[in-house]
Structure 1
Amino acid sequence: MSTPDSNRKPAPQFSSLRFSPAAAQNDDACGCDGACEAPATSAPKSVQGSRFSWNVNGMDCAACARKVENAVLQVSGVSQVQVVFATEKLLVDADRDVRQQVENAVTAAGYQLRNTDAPQEAAPSRLRENLPLISLIIMMALSWGLEQINHPAGQLAFVATTLVGLFPIARQALRLIKSGSWFAIETLMSIAAIGALFIGATAEAAMVLLLFLIGERLEAWAASRARQGVSALMALKPEIAVRVRDGQRETVAQRDLRPGDVIEVAAGGRLPADATLLSPFASFDESALTGESVPVDRNAGERVAAGATSVDRLAQLTVVSEPGDSAIDRILKLIEEAEERRAPIERFIDRFSRIYTPAIMLVALLVAVVPPLMMSAAWLPWIYKGLTLLLIGCPCALVISTPAAITSGLAAAARRGALIKGGAALEQLGRVRQVAFDKTGTLTVGKPQVTAIIGANAMNNNDLLALAAAVEQGSSHPLAQAIVQEAQSRQLTIPAAAAQRALAGSGIEAEVNGQKVLICAAGKFPAPEWDEQVQQLENAGQTVVIVAQNDTLLGLLALRDTLRADAREAVDALHQIGVQGVILTGDNPRAAAAIAAELGLDYRAGLLPADKVTEVNALNARAPLAMVGDGINDAPAMKAATIGIAMGGGTDVALETADAALTGNRLTGLVQMIRLARATHANIRQNIAIALGLKGIFLVTTLLGITGLWLAVLADTGATVLVTANALRLLRKK
């Protein structure tokens, strides 16, 4: 069945999706408040010398990318460095061959490099990957059991557990120190554990390391899943194509296609490259790229983007894009560009440790040695006070305060059908003041439904629907399937049809009970007396088709992609918490206007992926913005937004590219997610205030001689218990 002209739109000009390297950024522009471990360098430009590239293994977060950059910048001869975290790619410009030195520097920092053309190594088994964490959990349980039976044995067991957990972390901290990253979170964790052992808090030392390793594994899992989304995006282009030369068909690799090659794509097949249509007519599903809710008709000479699916026939096309420069490739580059524009969010504890840990150690050292040296005071009391300060300064409570709240917040969100990929995403979600919605599949169900049946000349509506279903039966077109499903849901008897024939650019016809029945777009059948009613339906965002028998109009069918049941409730709830909404869609303006009016939202329609990124950047400049979508075309906009949120029923690419997902596919979950994120952010602030406040109080009392070691132990342990209990309140939040 042909798509009606009311839903027809010009072929999208995907050639406008161009990628240009981000401008050079300085520390102020990167947005990380001075937290980056090395200045975020721009994409390497053409310089006198050579460019080298690798893939990096072992990066768990954006902060890891900064650590790799920092290590490579120490290599003599390197002029430009860029690590693209989304694709695990390292790009280096140098005035000479520095490959060996770069590989040595990255290896010394604790990461691995492989050539970009080398095959991906097989991932280790889950058991092997998680063996260190499982071993530490078992040792913690055994240590706790021994502590209940025999205190000295339990203490020794906790010491052994701490040393086992500390070894890989301390080794990585030393590597990073050598590569120029002095106060990474590994350094902080090593200091915290050693400090806790020094004052005898052995159980606490082991627990801090256990929590840290759990957080690292969760972060690594989220990063791996995100990269799978990039792989899924690339998989939209088939690896092989059917090329036609001199009337002969041959199967070739997609990368071997060149502009001017003629290719064939079967019904249901995807285009391997951008191309122009040679066949007189074909219908293509471009929803993955444009968000268009129904397939779009293309005539000979019109451009079709890579990744589009031929809906109803074998089509011949002429390739127009170079390898690596198709619409899919450009969307992938847009995702990477958006990733680079967003400054990496350093974890609070990693930033604060740069000041806090050295400062508290310096204060403890000065308290221990200055009075005896400068004022001839007794050594023993002041060493005792210095040790007490080290205990008070032990950042165990501070280290636990943030991950405890984040873990509770993420767990509470999961119970409510929301997947939030890490603490950084949770923090950003709490700052959101605007939400941009994709339309098709996000605010709407994403499947056309029959909304009106209007018979002419006393034609029975059910008879009209059954007749239309007979003609459409067996078609793969979404509108046709909607008509057949509506007839089946009404339990109508659908008559048999014969001689079904698709009419290029017009509609479909068949013989039913010996009569020729035609179904076509409203604009393809002359019926001036129906023009006003057709116009009213189309202005309401509906697609109208005409059913005619032997050139006599029998009636109209109207179809529309309907709103989700909870869409209005979700939008109203967002307004109540001070969050405004806007629709960004690739669909036609009339369909967008109808949905926007029903929900009371502003809208922008007819947007390509690059246009959505532009709109998101403009909105983001006013206030933190969340982008909610379900399609591949939404992925670049999700990355450009403060936070990207995918519908659980959306494409794999949208789900993996997004920072969060509504796994239950309920829009009302978005409001719950934002409220929970705000509560978690408040909880983190409370925990930090508790941890630092108690330390500040006991710092003063220690210097005044009021607090001894045993009270310092109580203060540190008490702070840890308080922040943990406070974080657990999030699990009970309604």
Structure 2
Amino acid sequence: MNEINEVGNENVYRVEGFSCINCAGKFERNVKELPGVQDAKVNFGASKISVIGETTVEDLEKAGAFENLTIIPEKVAGQSAKVSNELKKEPKISFIKKHEELLFSALLIALGYTSTFLNGEDNLVTVLLFLSAIVIGGYSLFKVGIQNLFRLDFDMKTLMTVAIIGAAFIGEWAEGAVVVILFAISEALERYSMDRARNSIRSLMDIAPNEALIRRNGHEMLIDVESIAIGDIMIVKPGQKIAMDGVVVKGGSSVNQATITGESVPVSKSTNDEVFAGTLNEEGLLEVKVTKLVKDTTIAKIINLVEEAQAERAPSQAFIDKFAKYYTPIIMVIAALVAVIPPIFFDGSWESWLYQGLSVLVVGCPCALVISTPISIVSAIGNAAKKGVLIKGGIYLEEMGGLKAIAFDKTGTLTRGVPVVTDFEVVNNQVSKNEVLSIVASLEKRSGHPLASAITKKADELGIAYDLNVENFESITGKGIKGSINGTTYYVGSPNLFKEFTDIYSIKAKVAEIQSEGKTIMIVGTKTDILGFIAVADEVRDSSKVVIEKLHDLGIKKTVMLTGDNDLAARAIGAQVGVSEIQSELLPEDKLNSIKQLRSEYGRVAMVGDGVNDTPALAASTVGIAMGGAGTDTALETADVALMADDLEKLPFTIKLSRKALTIIKTNIAFAIGIKLLALLLVVPGWLTLWIAILSDMGATLLVSLNSMRLMIVKE
């Protein structure tokens, strides 16, 4: 672990031991000041730090010495399984060993109270027992707090240090010692809560096996996943987890893909089907050709993106961070005023009001406030990831809860995206059906349009060859395609394409009839003659209608279907699924304009698509949501939210989770501030004590943490 980064390179390290978000910020600042470090960024939610420049693990641990941080290099970017193993190899420290100073301090406090009962509170033995408890239990606190005080760096440890030293100064030895213990317990609660939230995501690291059975040169061998190369044949027995992404080359089985897609129903897999690392082979023996390196597998990308998502600060967290920056100095000023104004101007007791001022410092400790948002965000993102929804940042989690309108791409989103040919007619007697289909399939073979596969599949079924030589092939955006075969230029496209250069009156009635049935019609011909037409239908998903109903029930004001399909076909599909508005015959720029218009009307708008097409519309929306992120790199990279399964039913759950998170965050902030204000009001009659102050802070931290962790168990 003594490796050095090359200058300018970025390296990522796992950090063990963060107790609070302020400590993470201090560690980041310390690392930035290290010689050779150009920049550094801490991801508190994932407990990681990214460092650009030259440094060593020893230097990083020195920068984190104030918190006794442990640094572990993440040697393979995106490969969290290896990091998980390194973490497991770290020696497990027992609870007693980890908190022995705290336990010894508690014992001294108990002896101090015994001495108070026997000898009185001003007895030298009593004072020394409480003083020893303060020094031993608060050593790490004072070490940081006093340094911060000299640097005028006012954080919660500075507040507590001043309060405890002040309590000792006015002779409140017992209360000073108890404050040390209770603050340590509060920090432990905060650390425990954040670790629980992190573990909801870190458990993903253990999903994929670290070894796999590989066949090379006729020999089978069990090797580490990092040594597996693309093209290797992986043998997966029944009941085993699949270690790498790949394609089945032999065998058949059912595979449980819940870890990737959130769907518990196993999926049948056979030759040429894709399988993912971390999924469970339930029945048959599979031979899988590896298609991705371990760092590029879908599960590795999910873990990496989820951890990156925790570094993206939500608006509420940005507010809290800014608020806390000014909050602590203000509390110190208020505490000073409480301590000096009554004695100077109202003849109050110096000892009494100094005690009240110290209590204000303690009650002003912002633990509950600063932890309220991070735990909520990490808990919600972790829960979503386990259910097959990848949310790429706290900002998108919050935005999902405020959506007023949702736009859907039609093909592959509201429909299955697997079109089939339903009608095929030739209207020119000079050519046969087979000739026309051969021409169309030869052209469509060169097209990337989703409907092209339906036509080539139809030709395959009928045994018609479509290997004609096509020259000057061209895609006509939003309208169709053209190409020359044996010197003749043929067009395949929408009726609107042919209206530009010929009359389609002879088939107008038939076109209208087919379109009214929700089918897409493509005319085949030249600039002067229409040869025939082909109708293709895309089946509506079973879940689409139910999902749209659920969204309306959740209060989504408008659902819009955006499609390049003809108006009649679009309306037929739209009526089946129940969207509130249908916009048809749209070019990509038209969809972009539609999203802009929706945003001007409703503010927050989501666009749901396949993550590949309609990229401008996805980018222009408040939240871009991609369907079927599993195995689709583009969907994982371009979308703000990815539904890993090719299933819309995760959408209502995501909105519900987001709204729950927003409610909990707001409740936490209100409660954390409210409990402080309530405790501060006790200053007026002089009732605020150090006991009440620290208990209110610890209680608020505990309740805020428990409230946030409820997001880990929100169900679909």
TM-score (norm. length: structure 1):
0.52
- Of 582, 595, 601, the residue aligned with 1:622 is 601
Contact 1:519 1:545 in 2 (8 A): no
**Structure-2 residue corresponding to 1:250:** none
Indicate how the Cα distance of structure 1 residues 122 and 431 shifts in structure 2: closer, same or farther if over 3 A, else same. Answer: same
**Structure-2 residue corresponding to 1:147:** 99
- 1:537 equivalent to 2:511? Answer no
- Could you tell me how far apart the structure 2 residues matched to 1:399 and 1:638 are? 33
Contact 1:158 1:203 in 2 (8 A): no
SS at structure 2 position matched to 1:595:
helix
- Could you tell me how far apart the structure 2 residues matched to 1:193 and 1:618 are? 53
- 1:711 equivalent to 2:692? Answer yes
**Structure-2 residue corresponding to 1:271:** none
**Structure-2 residue corresponding to 1:500:** 468
- 1:699 equivalent to 2:680? Answer yes
SS at structure 1 position matched to 2:561:
strand
**Structure-2 residue corresponding to 1:682:** 663
**Structure-1 residue corresponding to 2:548:** 571
Residues 297-337 of structure 1 show CA distances to partners (whole Å, capped at 9, x for unaligned) of: xxxxxxxxxxxxxxxxxxxxxxxxxxxxxxxxxxxxxxxxx
Residues 497-555 of structure 1 show CA distances to partners (whole Å, capped at 9, x for unaligned) of: 48734487768999xxxxxxx9977979999876532332245453446899xxxx999
**Structure-1 residue corresponding to 2:122:** none
- Of 308, 328, 341, the residue aligned with 1:357 is 328
- Could you tell me how far apart the structure 2 residues matched to 1:575 and 1:452 are? 35
Contact 2:564 2:585 in 1 (8 A): yes
- Could you tell me how far apart the structure 1 residues matched to 2:535 and 2:637 are? 35
Superposition deviation, residue 362 in structure 1: 1.9
- Could you tell me how far apart the structure 2 residues matched to 1:451 and 1:469 are? 17
**Structure-2 residue corresponding to 1:582:** 560
Contact 2:493 2:524 in 1 (8 A): no
- Of 346, 359, 362, the residue aligned with 1:391 is 362
Instruction: Choose 721-730 or 478-487, whichever is displaced more.
Output: 478-487
What amino acid maps onto 2:656 in structure 1?
Answer: R
SS at structure 1 position matched to 2:510:
helix
Q: RMSD of the alignment, in Å?
A: 5.6
- Could you tell me how far apart the structure 1 residues matched to 2:368 and 2:627 are? 36
- 1:481 equivalent to 2:453? Answer yes
What amino acid maps onto 1:693 in structure 2?
Answer: G
- Could you tell me how far apart the structure 2 residues matched to 1:569 and 1:127 are? 53
**Structure-2 residue corresponding to 1:646:** 626
Indicate how the Cα distance of structure 1 residues 139 and 215 shifts in structure 2: closer, same or farther if over 3 A, else same. Answer: farther
- 1:669 equivalent to 2:650? Answer yes
- Could you tell me how far apart the structure 2 residues matched to 1:716 and 1:610 are? 54
**Structure-2 residue corresponding to 1:41:** none
Contact 1:643 1:659 in 2 (8 A): yes
- Could you tell me how far apart the structure 1 residues matched to 2:9 and 2:565 are? 39
Indicate how the Cα distance of structure 1 residues 555 and 637 shifts in structure 2: closer, same or farther if over 3 A, else same. Answer: closer
Contact 1:471 1:508 in 2 (8 A): no
Residues 136-167 of structure 1 show CA distances to partners (whole Å, capped at 9, x for unaligned) of: 99899667643269613799898687799999
What amino acid maps onto 1:709 in structure 2?
Answer: L
5 Å-filtered alignment, 1:433-582, equals: 433-452=404-423, 472=441, 475=445, 477=447, 479=451, 481-485=453-457, 494-495=462-463, 497=465, 500-502=468-470, 531-544=508-521, 557-579=534-556, 580-582=558-560
What amino acid maps onto 1:646 in structure 2?
Answer: A
- Could you tell me how far apart the structure 2 residues matched to 1:164 and 1:591 are? 72
Superposition deviation, residue 673 in structure 1: 0.9
- 1:412 equivalent to 2:390? Answer no
- Could you tell me how far apart the structure 2 residues matched to 1:417 and 1:699 are? 45
- Could you tell me how far apart the structure 2 residues matched to 1:686 and 1:392 are? 19
5 Å-filtered alignment, 1:98-177, equals: 135=71, 145-147=97-99, 151-152=103-104
Superposition deviation, residue 354 in structure 1: 5.1
What amino acid maps onto 2:598 in structure 1?
Answer: L
- Could you tell me how far apart the structure 2 residues matched to 1:414 and 1:126 are? 33
- Could you tell me how far apart the structure 2 residues matched to 1:371 and 1:109 are? 50
**Structure-2 residue corresponding to 1:182:** none
TM-score (norm. length: structure 2):
0.53
- Could you tell me how far apart the structure 2 residues matched to 1:167 and 1:658 are? 46
Superposition deviation, residue 680 in structure 1: 1.3
SS at structure 2 position matched to 1:562:
coil
SS at structure 2 position matched to 1:356:
helix
Indicate how the Cα distance of structure 1 residues 647 and 209 shifts in structure 2: closer, same or farther if over 3 A, else same. Answer: same
SS at structure 2 position matched to 1:563:
coil
Superposition deviation, residue 682 in structure 1: 1.2
- Could you tell me how far apart the structure 1 residues matched to 2:523 and 2:552 are? 41
SS at structure 2 position matched to 1:665:
coil
Superposition deviation, residue 707 in structure 1: 4.0
- 1:430 equivalent to 2:401? Answer yes
- Could you tell me how far apart the structure 1 residues matched to 2:564 and 2:531 are? 33
- Of 318, 343, 347, the residue aligned with 2:318 is 347
**Structure-1 residue corresponding to 2:21:** none
Contact 1:397 1:723 in 2 (8 A): yes
5 Å-filtered alignment, 1:212-227, equals: none
Instruction: Choose 713-722 or 695-704, whichever is displaced more.
Output: 695-704
Contact 1:434 1:581 in 2 (8 A): yes
Indicate how the Cα distance of structure 1 residues 723 and 588 shifts in structure 2: closer, same or farther if over 3 A, else same. Answer: same
What amino acid maps onto 1:500 in structure 2?
Answer: L
- In the alignment of these two chains, the number of paired residues is 475
- Could you tell me how far apart the structure 1 residues matched to 2:511 and 2:491 are? 15
Contact 1:608 1:633 in 2 (8 A): no
What amino acid maps onto 1:726 in structure 2?
Answer: N
**Structure-2 residue corresponding to 1:92:** none
- Could you tell me how far apart the structure 2 residues matched to 1:673 and 1:566 are? 16
- Could you tell me how far apart the structure 1 residues matched to 2:577 and 2:650 are? 17
**Structure-2 residue corresponding to 1:315:** none
Contact 1:401 1:687 in 2 (8 A): yes
- Could you tell me how far apart the structure 1 residues matched to 2:545 and 2:511 are? 27
- Of 598, 614, 625, the residue aligned with 2:576 is 598
- Could you tell me how far apart the structure 2 residues matched to 1:664 and 1:166 are? 49
**Structure-2 residue corresponding to 1:264:** none
Instruction: Choose 673-682 or 710-719, whichever is displaced more.
Output: 710-719
Instruction: Choose 350-359 or 383-392, whichever is displaced more.
Output: 350-359
- Residue ranges of structure 1 left out of the alignment (5+ in a row): 1-54, 60-102, 113-120, 178-185, 220-342, 457-462, 511-517
- Could you tell me how far apart the structure 2 residues matched to 1:123 and 1:218 are? 31
**Structure-2 residue corresponding to 1:202:** 184
5 Å-filtered alignment, 1:69-80, equals: none
- Residue ranges of structure 2 left out of the alignment (5+ in a row): 1-7, 13-31, 42-50, 73-86, 107-132, 166-178, 202-313, 474-480
